[in-house]
Structure 1
Amino acid sequence: MAEQYVYMSGSVTSTGSNFIPKETATVPLFDHGYLYGDGVFEGVRV
């Protein structure tokens, strides 16, 4: 199976790329979106 990567927005990682292996991707404990459930959602009216 091909190695999978995750895009990390914001600051560039130590490798100089915004793509890192999914096994090393983490969410900071005090991330505002993680703590308060902030996000962007799209709804379709039916």
Structure 2
Amino acid sequence: MRGLVYINGELVPGEEAKVSVFDHGFLYGDGLFETMRAY
């Protein structure tokens, strides 16, 4: 994984980006969803 990732107010290398198993979004599936209609 390349590039920088913004986590908890700081930029970290992509290789160091981790999600805690206690993260509310991870535990309960919360998230932001975007939809687009296709015909």
Same fold by TM-score, threshold 0.5 exceeded? yes
Task: Give the TM-score of the pair, scaled to structure 2.
Answer: 0.70
Aligned length: 37
Give the % identical residues. 49
What are the ranges of 5 or more consecutive residues in structure 1 without an aligned counterpart?
13-17
Query: Aligned Cα RMSD in Å?
Result: 1.6
What are the ranges of 5 or more consecutive residues in structure 2 without an aligned counterpart?
none
Task: Give the TM-score of the pair, scaled to structure 1.
Answer: 0.62
Larger RCO, structures 1/2 (Cα 8 Å, 6+ apart): 1
